Amino acid sequence: MKPRRFQPLKPVAAHEGVKAKKGLGQHFLRDGGIAADIADLVLPECDQVVEIGPGTGVLTRLLYPKHGAQLRCIELDSESVAHLSKQAWASGLRVVEADFLALDLRTVFQGSKPCLIGNYPYNISTQIAFSVLESPVPVYQFAGMFQREVALRLCAGPGNKDYGITSVLLQAYYDCHYAFTVEAHSFEPPPKVRSGVISCTLKSDAPAVSYKALKSIVKMAFNQRRKTLSNALKPLLSVRPDFPLPSEWAGLRAEQLAVADFIRLAQAFEE
C-alpha cells in the first residue's frame, strides 16, 4: 500500500448551481492535489479514457488537456452536465448524459486499450466493477476512487478478511494496486467514510476458463465463507461426486485459496 503525503485542501472548482444529490451518491472532490494524483494513474498506453461521474469537473479538467478527443465523460446528473457545458475549459468535451450501468458498453469503449476512471458513486461502485469484468469489450485499465472498504476488498489477497468474491474475480483478470487513501474532508459534502484509490491493469494472459464457471465456483465458495470448502461446495459435490477437490483443500475456507487455486477449481468444474 503506497503511503501518501496529503496536500493542503485546494478548492479547484466552483460547485455553484450543482447540488450534491444523496440519491446519486455524489460527493464532490475539492482537493486539487488528490485529483492530480488520480489523473496521473492513467497509463500512457491507454488510447481512450472514459470518466464516470465527472460532476463539476475537478478530475475532468486535468484529464481533458492530456487526452483531448480521447476523453469521454458519462454523467447521469443533468445539473452537472449543464454545469460542464458552460465551462470555458470544457469546450469540445464529449459528455454523455446517461446511466453507465444501462449502456451498451460496445458503444462506450471504442479504443483498443480503454481506461475507465472516476470518483465512483459509493452506491454503485461494486456494480461498476462487475460491469468491467463482464464487458464485451476488454477494459485495459480500471482505476479511480471507491469507498475505502470496497477498494481494499478489490485489492485484497488470500488470508485477508477483506478477500472475497470481487477480490478473486477482479484479480483473475487484472493486476490490482491500492494507490492511496483519501480522507473525508477532501469532499463536499464530506462522506461518513474514508475513500481509497486503486488502479487495475488487464493481465496479458486471460485465465483458461470461462468467466461464468469461475464466478459460479467463487460465489459458491464464499457465500458460506465460514464453512470449509468441502461443506461450502457440497451442492456441487452432491451432483458431481467426481469433482476433483484436492484433499488438502477440503478443510480450508475460501479465503485461504489463492486466485490461481480458484481458477484451477473452475477449470475442473468446466471439464
The pLDDT value given to residue 245: 82
Query: Tens digit of pLDDT for each residue in 159-188?
Result: 999 999 999 999 999 999 999 999 988 887
User: Structural domains in the chain?
Assistant: 22-202 (3.40.50.150), 211-270 (1.10.8.100)
The pLDDT value given to residue 16: 56
The pLDDT value given to residue 139: 98
In one-letter notation, the amino acid at residue 268 is A
Residue 5: CB atoms within 10 Å: 6
The pLDDT value given to residue 225: 84
What one-character DSSP code corresponds to residue 252? S
Cα distance between residue 160 and residue 47, in whole Å: 35
Closest CA to 109 of 202, 183, 33: 202
Q: Is 251 helix (H, G, I), strand (E, B) or coil?
A: coil
Contact in structure between 71 and 42 (CB atoms under 8 Å): no
Query: Tens digit of pLDDT for each residue in 26-58?
Result: 677 888 899 999 999 999 999 999 999 998 999
pTM: 0.90
Strands 48-52 and 114-118, bridge-based pairing: parallel
Q: Considering Cα of 160, then 165, then 168, then 173, what sign does the dihedral take?
A: negative
Grid cell, residue 21, equals: 444529490
Grid cell, residue 170, equals: 477482479
Grid cell, residue 27, equals: 460527493
Cα distance between residue 189 and residue 102, in whole Å: 27
In angstroms and rounded to an integer, the radius of gyration of the C-alpha atoms of the chain is 20
Q: What are phi and psi of 253, to 5 degrees?
A: -100, 160
Q: Is 157 helix (H, G, I), strand (E, B) or coil?
A: coil
What is the CA 213 to chain-centroid distance, rounded? Answer: 21
61-126-32 Cα angle (round to 5): 25
CA torsion 72-78-84-85 (nearest 10°) is 90
Q: Is 75 helix (H, G, I), strand (E, B) or coil?
A: strand
The pLDDT value given to residue 10: 46
The segments of the chain whose pLDDT lies below 70 read 1-17, 19-26
Cα distance between residue 67 and residue 234, in whole Å: 51
